[in-house]
Amino acid sequence: MRLRGPPLLRISFRATLLTLMLAVLLTAVTLLAVAAYLYARFAVQDLGAQVITQASERVVQHVQHALDVAEDEVDTVGRLIAEGWIDPDDEERLSTYFAAALEARPSLSYMSFSMPSGKYFHAFRDRNGTLTVLWLTPEEDGSRHLREFTVVSGKPWQPLRDIPNSKRTPPFERPYYKEIVKAGKPIWTESYVFLGSGESLDVPGVSRGEPVVGPDGKFVGVLTADFDLYALSRFLRGVTLGPDSVSFMLEITRDGDRRVIAHPSAADPDESSRIDLAHPATDGEGMVTIRAEDIADARVARFLEPLGANLSGTPSTLQEVQFEADGQIYVGGYRHLGREGGPNWIIGMLLHEDGVFGDVQRMAQLMVYLGFGGVLLAAVLSALLSKRIASNLGAISEETRSIGQFRLDPKPPVPSRIREISTLATAVEEMKTGLRSFQKYVPADLVRLLLESGEEAKLGAERTEVTVYFSDLVGFTSISETLPPDTLVKLLASYLDEMTGEIHRHGGTVDKFIGDGIMALWGAPRSLDRDALGACRAALANRARLADLRVTWAQEGLPLLLTRTGIHTGSAMVGNFGSPSRLDYTAIGDTVNVASRLEGLNQLYGTDILISDVTQRAVDDAILTRPIDKVAVKGRQEGLMIYALLGEREASSEEDIALARASAEAMELYFSRKWEAAGAAFTAILKQSPDDKPALVMRDRCKAFRNSPPPADWDGVSHAPK
């Protein structure tokens, strides 16, 4: 007899699979919901910190640049007076320098020189951008004569005021003068209200001051370079953090007082809503800007409450805070400027949490709701599609991993009957196609560095020694008007491809194309051995390659393109510039400007490759050059020697070596003011090569100087055309 147990409850495979899949999906969705919520909270905090950190770095860089400019100007003028190049009693010459400095340095608003005798003169740019020069001269009867002029670039100064018995406070009675004399060295003053146009207090600002001595070592006066605090406020107005957010700056005085020296509302053109940083001025001398406790912005006052009264020890790294004001939650941070010997300034940042990050939190909640709603649909389809989906997604995952490693070989899209998967597979391949195109716009070295670091590109730059290369086609605009569009595109593509190929082969990075021009860098993003030499060899290689191309173009009836190149080596700010959503890796600064100007100077001297003396010294052992001139390019006061590239020393002909030697000897005579001998030396070069334009230019200049010699303090610098 067979015993039977109770009947077993049997469930179909489909029901079992669906039940298991539903349980798994419900568990996964629950975990994802919790993770999404936690991640949203973390993202809010992390994103807020990133926004504040990046904004504070931007403010620090701006302020540091403004301080650098003021310190450089004070140091330069102080040395010119101390070495006897400028007579401190010559108010016209010194004021002219001041006015030129303000025109060239937009961050400066004021430069002045004060003497113990009461003699005083300054150049001043007001809030409207009007530039004036003021002279205050003591008379024999004890009165002071004030004269003021309006300065318009390129025109004679226009008299603005002439006050024989001026009531303007003598400079030696002003607090800044006393503070600088007492210090006995270059210092940054605390904020105070400037005496601006005429005889009245004008705008608040800070001064970089230096007690100046004459050539005999005796004290002759106080020199200052200043910038007004409204300029900082205008800059802060452009620092975008989000709705109902604000950036501001505090000054910690020597007595521990806290003053608001910059606030976006201070730059508001609507006078009814503007915070007046120069009020109240309670000490009668213009030394008090607005105290932090008196600020009309309740958010700033509430921000400062938990920090305590003593902020003197604030670190230069960002300190995070969170507080509530008017029922709203704010997150923020503050940090010290962190400049040794600089002003005692604090930078503060406030973010309205809900206004900036509310959408992030609401999106996280929406993702949770959609996740649970999708469980039902996923349960129905999971039994039929799970295996195929997993297979297809696995293949797509491998493709995305390849993209992450920048392996962008084209492949057919992963086949699938499910439209979304097919679309995703196609999108992945399209993304690879787009990235292959993107590689052509971004320096390859930069892409590799980003991939190796594993970090996302973000705003930031650092000062780096680089060699900058600028080249441009001669008369290409006129040439382009004579060619059909397809011929023009083909010709330009052929030229740029060949030129950039040589740049890459010699270790350079093409930063950008500017029309038919090329900007390239050596030393960034990677520094190689002898970057300046690589740039010069690339220029020589491009000269030779262009000569070969012209043979081909002549056979095809195409225009014979010529190029001009400028190369300079120096320090530049290199990194990611732009906005958080759109970055441009490039270099900026005086070094870039000089390289660009050198490229243009080729037209003046009839050369094709010009390099600066800095670059020449770095390559002199390997590259043969000839000195051309000592010039001051646009944007620079000081001059620099420029050289034309002749070729590799080892491969140079006897004629080139002789030309280099003859040019050097002729230039030495020229700088020694021996006009007859120098002119004869350049004439000798022209006899060997009648078309040598550099020699022709210098011969004609020697003739001009022989008839009308330059002043005694001539330093050999010629100023390049604007």
Average pLDDT, the chain: 79
Report how far residue 702's alpha carbon sits from residue 207's, in angstroms, rounded to the nearest whole number: 44
Range(s) for CATH 3.30.70.1230 in the chain?
455-619
> From CA 557, how far away is CA 554, in angstroms rounded?
5
Asked if the 455-619 domain carries CATH number 3.30.830.10, the reply is: no
Inter-helix orientation angle 654-671/675-688, to 10°: 160
**Least trusted range by pLDDT, from 110-119, 364-373, 657-666:** 364-373
CB-based contacts of 252-257 (< 8 A; 24+ apart in sequence): 252/311, 252/312, 252/314, 252/344, 252/345, 252/346, 253/190, 253/344, 254/190, 256/309, 256/310, 256/312, 257/291
Question: In the prediction, which pLDDT does 637 show?
Answer: 72
Which residues make up the CATH 3.30.450.20 domain(s) of the chain?
Answer: 11-389
Q: What is the structure's pLDDT at 272?
A: 46
- Considering only 228-237, 239-248, 392-401, which range has the smallest mean pLDDT? 392-401
Distance CA 620, CA 642 (A): 13
Kindly report which listed range (101-105, 185-189, 290-294, 695-699) carries the lowest average pLDDT score.
Answer: 290-294
| pLDDT over 50 (residue 202) | yes
Q: Predicted confidence band at 238 (pLDDT cuts at 50, 70, 90)? A: confident
pLDDT digits (tens, 9 = 90+) for 142-179: 788 888 899 887 788 899 888 888 887 788 888 888 88
Q: What share of the chain is helix, strand, coil (3-state, %, to 5)?
A: 45, 25, 30
Q: How confident is the model at residue 697 (pLDDT cuts 50, 70, 90)?
A: very high
Q: Does domain 11-389 have CATH number 3.30.450.20?
A: yes
Phi, psi for residue 69 in degrees, rounded to 5: -60, -45
Is residue 438 scored above 70 in pLDDT? Answer: no
> In this predicted structure, what is the pLDDT of residue 284?
46
Neighbour-count burial of 301, counting CB atoms closer than 10 A to its CB (0-12 exposed, 13-18 middle, 19+ buried): middle
pLDDT at 569: 93
| pLDDT tens readout for residues 619-670 | 999 999 999 999 988 767 788 999 999 999 998 889 989 999 999 998 999 9
The winner for highest mean pLDDT among 13-22, 282-291, 569-578 is 569-578
Q: What pLDDT sits at residue 282?
A: 41
Please report the pLDDT score of residue 265 as a whole number.
76
What is the per-residue pLDDT for 564?
94
Residue with tokens 């100064």: 157
Which residue would you say has higher pLDDT here, 273 or 434? 434
> What are the tens digits of pLDDT across the range 448-474?
555 554 555 567 778 889 999 999 988
- Whether the pLDDT of residue 198 is over 60: the answer is no
The pLDDT > 70 percentage for the chain reads: 75
